[in-house]
């Protein structure tokens, strides 16, 4: 912690924030290491805000945002960013949709003008939509239909959540994409694309006062809108273990175990999410962490074994354990192996050295993140997207540093129970006309 504070004082400009009268918040971190800047606009609207029959619309609208306004023709947005020596793109998540440009810092005003323009004036031309919806379906084929592990994850999520909209894939179900219309995209845009549902994050070689003035000029004239009511759609308590299998063309079996877990709602008062994050680091945070050492190296039960947990989300959280068994070992054996690692933590706890190591890695990771303006802007944007102020970032690190070994043992006991578990297995199917090769014997030395 001491290291981190010293560094942030020495090399980082402070982070500044203002709010325009239309409700748009502007967050600026000065980082003068290189003459570039990252500019991002985040909308608090992601796939979890979609309704049945219109899944994928958040992401489709993201694509349409590049298709022009009355003053900037289709494709012109990216052309102008490129001409300014920049790169641009966008991403849609369950919780938000965000747009970014990385440009030389003296071109910030241009990209800000472009973002402000499409926040309010998007054309949504039906012919452009007809082309772009086909592109999105290709994207779904590329990323999901032909990716067995993506299919597994999609099915797992749809089973673990039955009520909360996290059950829906971000890219949408294919059937919904096939029936989507320009009116669906327009309704989405009109509901959610407003300055009072957005915030701008800027990290780079800029002066925050100058950026605030620019933001006022470009974003200031946009009018706030009444936003739709957001229903909680809370997931009911799971009443028993769920288990599913996905059969898809592949060679390597996969086992994924998803335990319901809390996420940070109150940075100061919560403690379990921090302990869960430390648990994930102790299980799978580095090459000598428990899964790697025990499951892959000592027992040779797995060729891959990992754990992952994100303590921040607008919706409910999940702690994942997953892996692939070694040749000759079954999915059931791997599942038992993953469970036994959890049982070990429940019974014996974790060592002080393991916890200290996880914390050392955490602090180093925070410093390495400072090497990238883009990574810093992402971190600020993601915290804000779940309703946590970026000002709490240091406090979150402190809370992680405060986690004790006993707390880690407690959360392992509290949340890793079968009633809260969904297990998904990939049952690999040989490619047709291409029978699976027999297992190859590996000679011993």
Partner 1 sequence: MNRLALLISLFFAVVSGLAQAGPQIERWQTPSGVEVLFVENHSLPIIDVQVDFAAGTAREPEGRAGVASLTRTLVDLGAGGMDETQIATRLADVGARLSGGVDMDRASISLRTLSMRDKCAPAFEILKAVLSQPHLPVVAFDREKARSVSALKEALTRPETLASKAFWAAMYPAHPYGRHATPESISALLHSDVLAFHAAFYSAKQASVAIVGDLTRGAAEALAADLTSGLPTGSPSPAIAPPSLPEAVEKRIDHPATQAHLLLGLPAAKRGDPDFFALATGNYSLGGGGFVSRLMKEVRDKRGLAYSVHSYFLPLQQPGPFQIGLQTKKGQADEALKLTREVLATFLEHGPSDAELRAAKQNLIGSFPLRLDTNRKILENVAMIGFYGLPLDYLDRYPENVGKVTSEEVRAAFARHVRPDHLVTVVVGGE
62 is catalytic: yes
Half-sphere exposure of 127 (CA within 13 A, CB side): 2
- Return the residues of window 340-359 that contact partner 1 according to CB under 8 A: 356-357
- Return the residues of window 161-220 that contact partner 1 according to CB under 8 A: none
Taking each helix axis as running N to C, give the angle between helix 393-402 and helix 352-369, from 0 to 180 degrees, rounded to the nearest 10: 160
Contact 16, 189 (CB under 8 A): no
Give the Cα separation of 374 and 110 in Å (integer): 19
Give the residue, chosen from 102, 155, 306, 385, that forms a contact with partner 1 under the rule CB under 8 A.
102
- Return the residues of window 121-160 that contact partner 1 according to CB under 8 A: 130-139, 141-142, 145-146
Residue (56 or 262) nearer to partner 1, CB: 56
Q: Is residue 250 involved in binding partner 1 (CB under 8 A)?
A: yes
Give the residue, chosen from 230, 297, 347, 391, that forms a contact with partner 1 under the rule CB under 8 A.
297
Phi then psi for residue 45, to 5 deg, are -155, 115
Residue (85 or 228) nearer to partner 1, CB: 85
Q: Is residue 441 involved in binding partner 1 (CB under 8 A)?
A: yes
Q: How far is the CB of 263 from partner 1 (least distance, A)?
A: 25
Give the residue, chosen from 28, 45, 84, 180, that forms a contact with partner 1 under the rule CB under 8 A.
84
Q: Is residue 247 involved in binding partner 1 (CB under 8 A)?
A: no
Q: Is residue 389 involved in binding partner 1 (CB under 8 A)?
A: no
Q: Is residue 364 involved in binding partner 1 (CB under 8 A)?
A: yes
Task: Return the range that interacts with partner 1 (CB under 8 A); candidates 84-92, 150-158, 267-275, 411-419.
Answer: 84-92
Give the residue, chosen from 3, 5, 163, 210, that forms a contact with partner 1 under the rule CB under 8 A.
3
Task: Return the range that interacts with partner 1 (CB under 8 A); candidates 21-29, 117-125, 331-339, 424-432.
Answer: 424-432
Q: How far is CA 271 from the centre of its chain?
A: 22
Residue (18 or 149) nearer to partner 1, CB: 149
3-state secondary structure of 426: strand
Residue (375 or 392) nearer to partner 1, CB: 375
Give the Cα separation of 40 and 362 in Å (integer): 25
DSSP 89-156: EEEE-SS-EEEEEEEEGGGHHHHHHHHHHHHH-----HHHHHHHHHHHHHHHIIIIIT-HHHHHHHHH
Question: Listing from the earlier edge strand, what are the strands of the sheet with 25-30?
Answer: 15-19, 25-30, 198-204, 36-43, 97-104, 87-92
Name the catalytic one among 17, 30, 50, 62.
62
Give the residue, chosen from 18, 22, 78, 123, that forms a contact with partner 1 under the rule CB under 8 A.
78
Give the Cα separation of 400 and 233 in Å (integer): 30
Residues 6+ apart with CB under 8 A from 52: none
Q: Which helix (H) or strand (E) holds 62?
A: helix 57-64
Phi then psi for residue 428, to 5 deg, are -70, 140
Q: How far is the CB of 211 from partner 1 (least distance, A)?
A: 18
Task: Return the range that interacts with partner 1 (CB under 8 A); candidates 47-55, 116-124, 216-224, 323-331.
Answer: 323-331
Number of residues located near partner 1, criterion CB under 8 A: 79
Q: Is residue 5 involved in binding partner 1 (CB under 8 A)?
A: no
Q: Is residue 34 involved in binding partner 1 (CB under 8 A)?
A: yes
Among candidates 241, 92, 54, which has minimal Cα distance to 159?
Answer: 241
Contact 41, 98 (CB under 8 A): yes
Q: Is residue 231 involved in binding partner 1 (CB under 8 A)?
A: no
Q: Which of the residues are catalytic? A: 62
């Amino acid at each position: 912690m001491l290291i981190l504070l010293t560094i942030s004082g020495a090399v980082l400009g402070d982070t500044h924030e203002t709010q325009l009268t239309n409700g748009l918040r502007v967050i600026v971190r000065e980082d003068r290491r290189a003459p570039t800047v990252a500019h991002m606009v985040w909308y608090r609207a992601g796939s979890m805000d979609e309704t049945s029959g219109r899944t994928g619309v958040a992401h489709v609208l993201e694509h349409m945002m590049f298709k022009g306004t009355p003053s900037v023709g289709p494709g012109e947005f990216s052309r102008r960013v490129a001409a300014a020596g920049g790169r641009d793109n966008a991403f849609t998540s369950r919780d938000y949709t965000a747009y970014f440009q990385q440009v030389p810092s003296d071109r910030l005003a241009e990209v800000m003008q472009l973002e402000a323009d499409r926040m309010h004036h998007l054309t949504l031309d039906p012919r452009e939509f007809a082309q772009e919806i086909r592109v999105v379906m290709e994207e779904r084929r590329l990323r999901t239909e032909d990716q067995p592990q993506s299919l597994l994850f999609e099915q797992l999520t749809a089973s673990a959540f039955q009520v909360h909209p996290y059950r829906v894939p971000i890219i949408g179900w294919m059937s919904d994409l096939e029936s989507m219309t320009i009116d669906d995209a327009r309704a989405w845009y009109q509901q959610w694309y407003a300055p009072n549902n957005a915030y701008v994050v800027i990290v780079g070689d800029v002066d925050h006062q100058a950026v605030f003035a620019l933001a006022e000029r470009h974003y200031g004239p946009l009018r706030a809108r009444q936003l739709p009511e957001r229903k909680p759609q809370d997931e009911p308590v799971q009443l028993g273990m769920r288990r599913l299998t996905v059969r898809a063309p592949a060679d390597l079996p996969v086992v994924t175990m998803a335990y319901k877990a809390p996420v940070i709602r109150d940075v100061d008062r919560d403690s379990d999410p921090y302990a869960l994050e430390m648990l994930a680091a102790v299980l799978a945070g580095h090459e000598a962490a428990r899964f790697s050492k025990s499951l892959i190296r000592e027992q040779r039960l797995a060729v891959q074994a990992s754990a992952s947990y994100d303590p921040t989300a607008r919706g409910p959280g999940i702690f994942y354990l997953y892996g692939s068994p070694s040749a000759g070992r079954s999915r059931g054996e791997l599942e038992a192996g993953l469970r036994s690692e959890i049982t070990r933590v429940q019974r014996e706890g974790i060592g002080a050295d393991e916890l200290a190591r996880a914390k050392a890695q955490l602090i180093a990771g925070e410093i390495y993140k400072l090497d990238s303006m883009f990574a810093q802007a992402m971190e600020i944007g993601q915290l804000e997207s779940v309703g946590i102020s970026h000002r709490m970032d240091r406090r979150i690190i402190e809370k992680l540093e405060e986690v004790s070994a006993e707390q880690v043992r407690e959360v392992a006991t509290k949340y890793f129970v079968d009633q809260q578990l969904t297990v998904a297995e990939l049952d690999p199917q040989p490619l047709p006309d291409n029978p699976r090769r027999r297992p190859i014997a590996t000679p011993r030395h």
